[in-house]
Structures are given as C-alpha cells and as structure tokens.
C-alpha cells in the first residue's frame, strides 16, 4: 500500500487524556507531539487523520448533549490553535481532526446532536478562515456506555440498535456498536456478532446510508437541533472565557458542571422519571445472570484518575443495580431474597393497581413481594416490612387499624402505596415520582440486608 492510499485515524487526543486522568504535567509535551504527528500525516499520508476530538469522555462522565458538544468544540479549537502554531494552514489543521460522539437510545436527541455538531464546527472553521474543504466535520459515533445495563443485558441490543439507527440518520460517517454484554466484561462471540450485524442490517436492508439528512425539514428535529446548538455554543463560549479547554479542565470547571448535570439526571433516574427497562421498570428477579470474564476498564485506572481530578465514568443503572447486588448477596447467604408483604385491603378492583405498582418498584431493588391480607398472612410471609395497597377511601377506613395489626405481628416498618396523606399510622409512602432508590435502600436496611 502506498502512502497516498493509506487511510484511517491515529486517535491522538492529549486533552481527552487530560480529561480522563487529571494529570496536567505532560499535556504540553503531548500537544507538541500530536502537532508533529499531524504535520507528518498532512505531508506524507493525506488520507490519515492524526487527531481525534473524543467527546465520549464527557458523555461517559454524565455530561448533557450540549455539554458534550461544547467541550468538543473547545477541544477542536484548541487543536486548531496548536496545529496552526506548528505551521499547518487552517484547512490542513481541520483536515487532521476527527470527532467522536456518543449515540444513545434517545434517537431524536442523537440525530439533533450530530446535526448541531456539524453546524457548529462549520461556524468555527468559517471564523477561523478555513475554506470549504476545511469546513466539514468527520464524525465517528459510538453507542453510549452510560445507557448500558448489567441487569437484563439483552435489552441492550434494542438500545444499541436505536442508537445506531440515530447515528446513521444523524449523518455519522462511522459507527461503532458496543456488544450488548460490554458492561459485564469481555463480550462473547454472539454479542460481537450481533453488534457487527446491527449496522450491517441497517445499511444493507434498511438502506440507511442512501439518503442525506433524512431528518432535515422535520419541525421537531430542526427545533431540537437549533436549541441544542445554541446551548452548546453558550457552553463553548464559557469555556473559551475561562481560558480554553485545557484551562477549564485544570480549574475543575468542566468537572463541576458535568457533575451537577449528572446529579440532576441521577435524581430523575432515582425517581423513575427516566425509566430503565429491565432495571427500574419491569425487573425480573428470576432471570439467570449473564456471566462474562472480567474486562479491563475502557479508561485504564479510571477510579484512580477520578480521584486525581480526572472525569469519572458513570452508568445510569448503577444505583438500582447496587440494590440488586445487595439482594443477590443476601440470597447467596440465606437462601432467600428479602421480602416485602403487600397488605391488600378490600376487593381486587380496589388494590390491584397499587399492588402492581408496589411490586414493580420493590422488585427493582431486589425485593420479593408477597401479597396477602391480614396479620396472619404477614407472619407467614417471612417479611420484615409491609406495604398497604388499596384505594384512598379504604385507606381512610382501614389504614390505621391494619398498620397497627401488622406492627403487632412483627412488622418493623409499614409503608403505604399512595401519595402522602393523613395516615399517620404508617412509616412512609411509595408513589409515582418518589425517590425509589432511597425508599428501597431503607427497606433493605430494615430487612437486615448487609450493605
């Protein structure tokens, strides 16, 4: 193969390394090496890109789509400055960059993000004086690690399929689909094959690459693209005012903002406003665990790096999965899972809805549910915690007496499925929008499950 025929991306990303590790001492040296590598590629290997603007590190830390875009813009601008100082023209410098973004199962947000990224980068290169050749942005989309689950990992195949579809519709030139079991360890042959064939089917059978910008003209997508572009540009400008991406990483600005965003999203996940199928919704306690050999972290030493000021790596299902892990350990130690007694009151029509809701919620924390009526059924259930399930009208009549009877029978805690009301006899409430992780943690604690 001749030098002219060689193509690909070498992946140099000094600022991405800084973001992952928090180590600032070698960044200047790494930037100089990357600039020299880019100059050589531009001179001797015209189809090889030396530098990758990897926004995955920000996404994997919990950044919003706008923050991911803003950080990628600031990083790209920093590389343009470094490369032009090394003697490359703006066009040649821009040609050395490849941008890597996360694709999620939120298909419209992913489509809008990739569209907004091209629009924003075109504006940056225009201001920098690049010609038409330097204005384009080469995009590599990778399905999100944040959305992958360890529990019920088969659902990950659906998540990555939607993400791959969105990346193609959004205009990414290259797409990497992570295997459905990648959160568990080393993927097996089936997982690798499914990941490979996902985009093959979308390309060959769904003809995904035959239409340019198929979402263009959709009012919703266009508006979402505009909103995202404006928010990302504002964040990019804030980073620039702080001295650029390297300075913003060193000062902790990027880390603090992303942490605040993730805290807000974690609150929504805990309250099940962002449902996770198979984890926070419709869990299956009887599913057979999928076991894989351990795999090294995609970011080597990520825990230590986060302690040193690097960005952490997160997954949205971690909170619920930690509760399930506690339940699994209890099962292995005692031979049974912790249980909650669902104390149904009145006819089936009065308690079915809330009993079903309560069962779904408790099982998401690894708690088995045992429905029944009365103190005798509770005593036989083996549960330490009970939850009243019925209508508001029947609660008014029977909640106090039923709760008292359950406590006399040994219930350490009595909850009520419904919005907080005038039922002082109970110890707490579970309802749509409650902090499920906090409620489940308390029940596991009351049930004597080790942390």
229 located within any domain: yes
The whole-number average pLDDT for the span 375-383 is 94
- Domain annotation covers residue 305: no
Alpha helix (H) ranges present in 51-106?
A: 56-59, 65-85, 90-95
Of 238, 265, 292, which marks where a domain is finished?
A: 265
C-beta pairs of 63-67 under 8 Å, 24+ apart in sequence: 63/258, 63/261, 63/262, 64/261, 65/109, 65/112, 65/113, 65/228, 65/232, 66/228, 66/231, 66/232, 66/234, 66/235, 67/232, 67/235, 67/257, 67/258, 67/261
Mean pLDDT on 251-275: 97
Domain assignment present for 425: yes
Q: Is residue 93 part of a domain?
A: yes
The per-residue b/e assignment along 38-50, b for 16 or more CB within 10 angstroms, e otherwise, is: bbebbeebeebbb
CA distance 283 to 276: 9
Report yes or no: 67 and 25 within 8 Å, Cβ to Cβ.
no
Ranking 6-10, 154-158, 162-166, 398-402 by mean pLDDT, the lowest is 6-10
358 and 256, same structural domain?
Answer: no
Q: Establish if 317 belongs to a structural domain.
A: no
Same domain, yes or no: 212 and 343: no
pLDDT at 100: 98
pLDDT at 111: 97
Please determine, for residue 24, whether its predicted confidence score (pLDDT) is greater than 90: no
- The band of 306, judged by pLDDT with boundaries at 50, 70 and 90, is low
Answer whether 31's CB lies under 8 Å from 69's CB: no
112, part of any domain: yes
Cβ neighbours, 10 Å, residue 126: 13
184/83 same-domain check = yes
Average pLDDT, integer, range 220-237: 97
Same domain for 253 and 105, yes or no, is yes
Range 240-259 average pLDDT: 96
Tell which of 265, 282, 307 closes a domain: 265
Examine the pLDDT at 274 and tell me if it is beyond 80: yes
State how far the Cα of 71 lies from the Cα of 55, in Å rounded to an integer: 7
H-only helix segments in 154-252: 155-170, 189-204, 219-241, 245-251
Query: Residue 145 — φ and ψ, nearest 5°?
Result: -75, -30
Report which DSSP code applies to 287. Answer: P
pLDDT for 1 equals 61
**In-domain check, residue 2:** no
Residue 417, strand partner residues: 430
Average pLDDT, the chain: 93
How does residue 5 score in pLDDT terms, banded at 50, 70 and 90?
confident
> What sign results for the dihedral spanned by CA atoms 311, 315, 316, 319?
negative
Q: Examine the pLDDT at 301 and tell me if it is beyond 60.
A: no
Residues 68 and 214 in one domain: yes
Q: Are residues 82 and 178 in the same domain?
A: yes
Q: Which residues form the domain of 420?
A: 324-446
Residues 260 and 330 in one domain: no
Could you tell me if 191 and 111 lie in one domain? Answer: yes
Q: Is the pLDDT of residue 44 over 90?
A: no
Domain of 415, CATH number, reads 3.40.50.280
Per residue in 322-365, pLDDT tens? 999 999 999 999 999 999 999 999 999 999 999 999 999 999 99
DSSP state of 145: S
Assign residue 358 a region (left: φ > 0; alpha: ψ between -120 and 50; beta: otherwise): alpha
Find, among 233, 111, 242, the residue nearest to 172 by Cα: 111
- Structure-model confidence comparison of residues 281 and 25, the more confident one: 281
User: What percent of the chain stands above pLDDT 90?
Assistant: 81
Please state the domain count of the chain.
2
The pLDDT of residue 302 is 53
**Would 183 be classed as within a structural domain?**
yes
| pLDDT tier for residue 2 given thresholds of 50, 70 and 90 | confident
Collapse the DSSP code of 129 into the 3-class scheme (helix H, G, I; strand E, B; otherwise coil) and give the result.
coil
122 and 220 housed in the same domain = yes
> What is the reported pLDDT for 363?
97
Last residue of a domain, one of 265, 280, 301: 265
- In CATH, what number is assigned to the domain containing residue 231? 3.20.20.240
Selected residue with higher pLDDT from 44 and 376: 376
- Are 17 and 166 contained in the same domain? yes
- Regarding whether 137 and 210 lie in a shared domain, the answer is yes
Same domain, 114 and 219: yes
Tell me: the pLDDT tens digits for 357-368?
A: 999 999 999 999
pLDDT in tens, 161-197: 999 999 999 999 999 999 999 999 999 999 999 999 9
């Amino acid at each position: 193969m001749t030098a002219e025929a060689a193509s690909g991306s070498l992946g140099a990303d000094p600022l991405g390394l800084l973001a992952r590790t928090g180590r600032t001492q070698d960044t200047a040296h790494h930037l100089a090496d990357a600039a020299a590598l880019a100059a050589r590629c531009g001179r001797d290997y015209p189809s090889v890109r030396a530098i990758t603007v990897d926004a995955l590190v920000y996404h994997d830390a919990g950044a919003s789509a706008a923050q991911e875009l803003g950080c990628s813009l600031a990083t790209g601008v920093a590389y343009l400055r470094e490369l032009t100082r090394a003697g490359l023209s703006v066009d040649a410098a821009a040609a050395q960059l490849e941008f890597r973004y996360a694709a999620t199962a939120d298909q419209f947000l992913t489509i809008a993000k990739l569209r907004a990224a091209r629009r924003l980068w075109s504006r940056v290169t225009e201001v920098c004086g690049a010609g038409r050749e330097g204005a384009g942005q080469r995009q590599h989309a990778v399905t999100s690690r944040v959305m992958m689950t360890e529990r019920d990992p088969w659902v990950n195949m659906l998540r990555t399929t939607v993400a791959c579809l969105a990346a193609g519709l959004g205009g990414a030139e290259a797409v990497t689909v992570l295997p459905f079991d990648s959160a568990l360890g080393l993927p097996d042959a089936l997982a690798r094959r499914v990941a490979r064939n996902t985009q093959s089917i979308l390309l060959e059978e769904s003809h995904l690459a035959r239409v340019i910008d198929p979402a263009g003209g959709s009012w919703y997508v266009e508006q979402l693209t505009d909103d995202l572009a404006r928010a990302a540009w504002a964040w990019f400008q804030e980073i620039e005012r702080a001295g650029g991406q390297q300075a913003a990483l060193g000062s902790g600005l990027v880390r603090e903002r992303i942490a605040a965003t993730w805290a807000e999203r974690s609150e929504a996940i805990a309250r099940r406003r962002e449902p996770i199928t198979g984890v926070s919704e419709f869990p299956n306690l009887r599913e057979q665990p999928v076991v894989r050999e351990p795999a090294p972290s995609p970011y080597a030493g990520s825990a230590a790096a986060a302690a040193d000021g690097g960005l952490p790596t997160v997954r949205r299902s971690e909170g619920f999965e930690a509760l399930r892990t506690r339940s699994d350990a209890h099962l292995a130690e005692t031979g049974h899972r912790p249980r909650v007694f669902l104390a149904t009151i009145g006819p089936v029509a009065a308690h079915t809805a809330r009993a079903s809701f309560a069962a779904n919620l408790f099982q998401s924390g690894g708690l088995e549910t045992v429905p029944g009526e009365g103190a005798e059924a509770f005593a036989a259930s083996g549960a330490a915690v009970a939850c009243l399930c019925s209508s508001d009208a029947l609660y008014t009549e029977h909640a106090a007496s039923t709760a008292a009877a359950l406590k006399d029978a040994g219930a350490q805690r009595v909850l009520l499925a419904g919005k907080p009301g005038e039922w002082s006899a109970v110890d707490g409430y579970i309802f749509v929008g409650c902090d499920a992780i906090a409620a489940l943690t308390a029940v596991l604690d009351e049930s004597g499950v080790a942390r």
